Chains A and B, each alone.
Chain A
Amino acid sequence: MSAFSVDSSGSFQHLIDTVLFDYTVNTLLVIAGVLLLSFCFALPSAWFIACCDFPSRSILQWALMLPLAIPPYIVAIVYTDLFDFSGPIQGFLREFMHWQSVHDYYFPDIRTINGAILVLSLTLYPYLYLLLRGAFLGQSGGLFQAARSLGLSPFQAFKRVSFPLARSSMAVGLSLIAMETLGDFATVNYFAVHTLTTAVYDTWLELGSLTTAAKISSIMLLALVILISLESYSRRKQKTYQRSGATHTDLRFVLTHGKKWGVLTFLWSLLFFSFILPLSVLIYYALGYFSESLNTQLWQYTLNSFWLAIIVASLALLLALLLNFYQRLAPGILSKMTIRLSSLGYAVPGTVIAIGVLIPFTSLDLWLNRQLVEFGFSRVGLIFSGSLFILVFGYLMRFSAIAVGSIESSLAQVSPTLDLASRSLGQNVGQTIRRVNLPLIKKGMLTAFILVFIEAMKELPTALLLRPFNFETLATYVYQFVSDEMIEYAALPALLIVLMGLIPFIVVNRLLEKDC
């Protein structure tokens, strides 16, 4: 520890002496809780959707991804409004039970660590669901049938065949969720839970110690990298490749009565609490305050958000492809490290990323301008750090992890023997990628694109701090009101964020359907 306590202002020592332990415990609790709960939401739903047949399955299979389109901080506010003392739920209970005051009954407090875990899990489970469903669908039904015919019960077959085969997807999904949880400051803070991220903010922005803030950030990231590496080390000998296209509609379990209702209740409740309920509240407010919140700029903000998200999603996809093919063609420590490093931004809170990218680009701008002046030209101003360039760059830093992860997991399913076959048939590297690999990972590419698009639509802190003058996104506009807990006025633009996020879902679903 002595290496760490040497510090400009002793603020790291101050943290150790005071709140660091509590913050660490809270951080671990939040992450563990969110991972566990998301797992409980995602694993059963992914398996039911992939392997069972029941009414409304075709709706649920894409609807269960919808919660991704709602920003977690909005869900946090909606849930607090609904479940706190003066909210409708407790109000109804009081009326119904003739309770008078807060002292007459017990109701779990929503603004606690449990509330934070619940809301984060409800908004983040779709990452895991998406990846697991893909993994289960990709598994050839034959394997499962073989296990069954060898005398395993459905559960045993699941445990010993399907589950291990899905492990890499599960690891990617869980680490995405863990990173997003670490990087989420707004939601956790709204629930009055203080984590290591709070310490990063306090030391940097209040106590002015960049070194301490950087230290805490790096310790957090290091812990995460170690965890992820341990996981991938633990299955280093496991290599599984799938032939895709082996759809097995006929092999789905047709659920009998009791089981059918059980599954339907589970899936529809999940969808209700994660999407339908918060969306309905937003619609209710948006209608009630429609005239107050409708204005001419709203359309401009929508366009800004949309184009920004399109640009970021395309670039992130490109970056992910480059990194992943680099790793595939030149496997080794270096390429592996590059991939891991490129992903870390997702675990860093937006404000920290924002200031982090400001530092090099403002330096570059300052250098460039001084050079220009030296050579007798006039200044050009902050062409990198004062323009949309830095905003796009900041978003990329933050979200490329999602694209890299989904390409990684879908490329992992493509057996290298296919590459070898292609090469031995005289195709060069480029041709192999274009004609063999890319078509096989098309779904993964579309997924990467949508996920980044949706995250970019929702992103707040990076945009808030890096945007140029007179550039608002829907999220920054929403924040003005939300930061004063005036959700009513923000409901319409918040609803627009959700609706814009749904567009690529629909488009991509169409594309995929045509494909099949």
Chain B
Amino acid sequence: MPIKKIFTHSAALLALTATSFSTLAQEVNIYSFRQAFLIEPIMEKFTQETDIKVNILFAKQGLIERIKREGELSPADLVLTTDISRLVKLTSQDLTQAVHSEVLNKNIPSQYRDPDNQWFALTTRVRNIYSSSERVGAVKDITYQDLASPEFKGKICTRSGKHPYNVSLIASIIAHEGEAKAKVWLEGVKANLARKPQGNDRAQVKAVKDGLCDYALGNNYYLGKMLANPKQVSWAEAVSINFPNQKTTGSHVNVSGVVLAKYAPNKENAIKLMEFLSSDVAQKMYAEVNYEYPVKVSVQPSKLVASWGTFKADTLPLAEIAKQHEAAVKLLDEVKFDL
């Protein structure tokens, strides 16, 4: 018996020293690809309303590997992503579980949910083309395809092609036009770049302001963020925001979203949080604080975002686009887009 006793004691001790996740306390654990400070206000609101504590672990890479390795012991309840490809990757690697919730189904339109209820989009964001107000003005009819035409030579700025936002755009072009045409297009865009892909989306807008280029690819919410930042407001004021492909396929739209982890230890709380994130309160906050488009139809975008006008979005299912993710990454290597 003493051996068993020692064993129990040391196990208990180990459990104490580890950052253990007791199921007694009301909490929910999130692995987040999004910076914690962006979602903290929303989580604080949730804690206020429910008394459930939200723990966030933020990293931009490797979280999927971590959750996969942790297996049935993973402390993660939810994973928040900033793009569709990771939602699909989590699902296809069997790291998620289905959520059957009336609330989620009511709040989130069906094109923004997985048909098998494995992932749910929370906000949408458009991949816009920003143009220099001073040198070209607004260009309402511009398309992504235009970016490859010779008259744009030396006028385009973008962040690394390998960034999920760009990979997803390229994947959508592959989904629409096939790989061969997409490759010709990507080569054309590369030939038109004003400089090697670098920096983030904001840095491209800054480059337009500085006169380094006339057009830049960037997500819509960065414009709102820059207008709210004293140092960056002058960058934002130097550009017009354009919604591409309005007369053709519609603008490429990506999503931020959430999955319930397969082995979520706090499943009930996690679903509560998912439902909260799709509710009017949270959707409104996403819209007002982060300038994203809420997925819930009844919630309006912020005044500023609404002032950019309505737009036609690409109707191709996101899952179809996500399927081309790997092909897009390889295409980027083939045309040496970032080099």
- List A residues at the B interface (Cβ < 8 Å): 14-15, 17-19, 22, 85-86, 101-102, 109, 111-112, 191-192, 194, 201-202, 204-208, 351, 354-355, 358-359, 362-363, 365-366, 369, 372, 377, 379-389, 464-465, 467-471, 476, 480-481, 483-486, 488
Is B202's beta carbon under 8 Å from chain A? yes
With a 10 A CB-CB cut-off, give which of A201, A372, A469 has the most chain B CB atoms: A469
A113 vs B57: C-alpha distance when bound (angstroms): 33
A469 vs B75: C-alpha distance when bound (angstroms): 9
Within 8 A of A (CB), among B101-143: none
Query: Which residues of the partner chain A approach B162 to less than 8 Å between Cβ atoms?
Result: 202, 206
Binds A, one of B16-24, B239-247, B267-275, B281-289: B16-24
Q: Once the chains bind, are A201 and B61 in contact (CB under 8 Å)?
A: yes
Within 8 A of A (CB), among B177-227: 195-200, 202-203, 206-207, 209-212
Query: Which residues of the partner chain B approach A15 to less than 8 Å between Cβ atoms?
Result: 333
22 A-B pairs with C-beta separation under 8 A: A18-B336, A19-B336, A86-B210, A102-B211, A194-B338, A202-B333, A206-B167, A207-B326, A358-B69, A362-B69, A369-B73, A380-B20, A383-B17, A383-B20, A386-B70, A386-B73, A387-B18, A464-B60, A468-B57, A469-B56, A470-B19, A485-B200
Q: How far is the CB of B311 from chain A (nearest CB, A)?
A: 25
Q: Once the chains bind, are B19 and A377 in contact (CB under 8 Å)?
A: no
Of the candidates B65, B197, B200, B333, the one whose C-beta lies within 8 Å of that of A14 is B333
Question: Which 7 A-B residue pairs are closest in the complex by CB-CB distance?
Answer: A192-B198, A18-B333, A362-B69, A468-B19, A387-B18, A383-B18, A469-B55
Of the candidates B59, B207, B211, the one whose C-beta lies within 8 Å of that of A465 is B59
Residue on A nearest B4 in the bound complex, by CB = A375
Binary flags per residue of B33-50, CB closer than 8 Å to A gives 1, else 0: 001110000000000000
Query: Which residues of the partner chain B approach A205 to less than 8 Å between Cβ atoms?
Result: 61-62, 64-65
Query: Which residues of the partner chain A approach B71 to less than 8 Å between Cβ atoms?
Result: 362, 366
A111 vs B66: C-alpha distance when bound (angstroms): 32
A351 vs B60: C-alpha distance when bound (angstroms): 10
Is B6's beta carbon under 8 Å from chain A? no
Given contacts A19-B339, A202-B329, contact A381 B69 (CB under 8 A): no
A158 vs B56: C-alpha distance when bound (angstroms): 57
Q: Once the chains bind, are A22 and B339 in contact (CB under 8 Å)?
A: yes
Q: Once the chains bind, are B11 and A377 in contact (CB under 8 Å)?
A: yes
Q: Once the chains bind, are B62 and A387 in contact (CB under 8 Å)?
A: no
Q: Once the chains bind, are A359 and B15 in contact (CB under 8 Å)?
A: no
Query: Which residues of the partner chain A approach B69 to less than 8 Å between Cβ atoms?
Result: 355, 358-359, 362-363, 385
Given contacts A386-B19, A387-B19, A484-B35, contact A192 B338 (CB under 8 A): yes
Q: Once the chains bind, are A483 and B35 in contact (CB under 8 Å)?
A: yes
Q: Once the chains bind, are B198 and A111 in contact (CB under 8 Å)?
A: yes
Is B152's beta carbon under 8 Å from chain A? no
Of the candidates B7, B14, B58, B72, the one whose C-beta lies within 8 Å of that of A366 is B72
Query: Which residues of the partner chain A approach B200 to less than 8 Å between Cβ atoms?
Result: 484-485
Binary flags per residue of B89-111, CB closer than 8 Å to A gives 1, else 0: 10000000000000000000000
Query: Which residues of the partner chain A approach B315 to less than 8 Å between Cβ atoms?
Result: none
A372 vs B197: C-alpha distance when bound (angstroms): 52
Within 8 A of A (CB), among B235-272: none
Q: Once the chains bind, are A383 and B198 in contact (CB under 8 Å)?
A: no
Query: Which residues of the partner chain A approach B198 to less than 8 Å between Cβ atoms?
Result: 111, 191-192
Given contacts A192-B197, A362-B71, A469-B75, contact A377 B8 (CB under 8 A): yes
A211 vs B73: C-alpha distance when bound (angstroms): 25
Q: How far is the CB of A45 from chain B (nearest CB, A)?
A: 32
Is B231's beta carbon under 8 Å from chain A? yes
Q: Once the chains bind, are B18 and A86 in contact (CB under 8 Å)?
A: no
Given contacts A206-B162, A380-B18, A387-B19, contact A365 B73 (CB under 8 A): yes
A219 vs B111: C-alpha distance when bound (angstroms): 45
- List B residues at the A interface (Cβ < 8 Å): 7-8, 11, 14-15, 17-21, 29, 35-37, 55-66, 69-75, 89, 160, 162, 167, 195-200, 202-203, 206-207, 209-212, 229, 231, 325-326, 329-330, 333-334, 336, 338-339
Q: How far is the CB of A168 from chain B (nearest CB, A)?
A: 37
A387 vs B13: C-alpha distance when bound (angstroms): 13
Residue on A nearest B334 in the bound complex, by CB = A18
Q: How far is the CB of A253 from chain B (nearest CB, A)?
A: 46
Q: Once the chains bind, are B20 and A22 in contact (CB under 8 Å)?
A: no
Q: How far is the CB of B95 from chain A (nearest CB, A)?
A: 13
With a 10 A CB-CB cut-off, give which of B64, B160, B330 has the most chain A CB atoms: B330
Given contacts A192-B198, A386-B73, A465-B66, contact A207 B329 (CB under 8 A): yes
A363 vs B70: C-alpha distance when bound (angstroms): 8
Query: Which residues of the partner chain A approach B20 to less than 8 Å between Cβ atoms?
Result: 380-381, 383, 386
A109 vs B63: C-alpha distance when bound (angstroms): 34
Q: Once the chains bind, are B62 and A471 in contact (CB under 8 Å)?
A: no
Q: Once the chains bind, are A382 and B70 in contact (CB under 8 Å)?
A: yes
A363 vs B195: C-alpha distance when bound (angstroms): 45
Query: Which residues of the partner chain B approach A22 to less than 8 Å between Cβ atoms?
Result: 336, 339
Known: A15-B333, A191-B198, A366-B73. 6 other contacts (CB 8 A): A111-B199, A201-B61, A365-B70, A377-B8, A464-B60, A464-B62
Q: Once the chains bind, are B339 and A194 in contact (CB under 8 Å)?
A: yes
Query: Which residues of the partner chain B approach A111 to less than 8 Å between Cβ atoms?
Result: 196, 198-199
A388 vs B330: C-alpha distance when bound (angstroms): 37
Query: Which residues of the partner chain B approach A471 to less than 8 Å between Cβ atoms?
Result: 19
Query: Which residues of the partner chain B approach A483 to less than 8 Å between Cβ atoms?
Result: 35, 60
Query: Which residues of the partner chain B approach A102 to less than 8 Å between Cβ atoms?
Result: 210-212
A358 vs B69: C-alpha distance when bound (angstroms): 7
Query: Which residues of the partner chain B approach A101 to less than 8 Å between Cβ atoms?
Result: 211
A194 vs B7: C-alpha distance when bound (angstroms): 51
Query: Which residues of the partner chain A approach B66 to less than 8 Å between Cβ atoms?
Result: 355, 358, 465
Residue on A nearest B53 in the bound complex, by CB = A470
Query: Which residues of the partner chain B approach A469 to less than 8 Å between Cβ atoms?
Result: 19, 21, 29, 55-57, 75
Query: Which residues of the partner chain B approach A85 to less than 8 Å between Cβ atoms?
Result: 207, 210, 212
A148 vs B36: C-alpha distance when bound (angstroms): 64
Query: Which residues of the partner chain B approach A354 to less than 8 Å between Cβ atoms?
Result: 62
Q: How far is the CB of A18 from chain B (nearest CB, A)?
A: 4
Query: Which residues of the partner chain A approach B210 to less than 8 Å between Cβ atoms?
Result: 85-86, 102
Residue on A nearest B229 in the bound complex, by CB = A486
Q: Once the chains bind, are A380 and B29 in contact (CB under 8 Å)?
A: no
Q: How far is the CB of B338 from chain A (nearest CB, A)?
A: 6
Q: How far is the CB of B11 from chain A (nearest CB, A)?
A: 5
A17 vs B200: C-alpha distance when bound (angstroms): 28
A483 vs B74: C-alpha distance when bound (angstroms): 26
A386 vs B195: C-alpha distance when bound (angstroms): 43
Of the candidates A207, A355, A382, A468, the one whose C-beta lies within 8 Å of that of B73 is A382
Q: Once the chains bind, are A381 and B18 in contact (CB under 8 Å)?
A: yes
A205 vs B65: C-alpha distance when bound (angstroms): 8
Query: Which residues of the partner chain A approach B333 to less than 8 Å between Cβ atoms?
Result: 14-15, 18-19, 202
Residue on A nearest B27 in the bound complex, by CB = A469
Q: Once the chains bind, are B75 and A383 in contact (CB under 8 Å)?
A: no
Residue on A nearest B231 in the bound complex, by CB = A488
Query: Which residues of the partner chain A approach B167 to less than 8 Å between Cβ atoms?
Result: 206
Query: Which residues of the partner chain A approach B58 to less than 8 Å between Cβ atoms?
Result: 464, 476, 480
Of the candidates B11, B18, B202, B211, the one whose C-beta lies within 8 Å of that of A372 is B11
Q: How far is the CB of B232 from chain A (nearest CB, A)?
A: 9
Q: Once the chains bind, are A362 and B336 in contact (CB under 8 Å)?
A: no
Q: How far is the CB of A36 from chain B (nearest CB, A)?
A: 23
Of the candidates B19, B65, B89, the one whose C-beta lies within 8 Å of that of A355 is B65
Query: Which residues of the partner chain A approach B336 to less than 8 Å between Cβ atoms?
Result: 18-19, 22
A86 vs B206: C-alpha distance when bound (angstroms): 8
Q: How far is the CB of B37 from chain A (nearest CB, A)?
A: 6
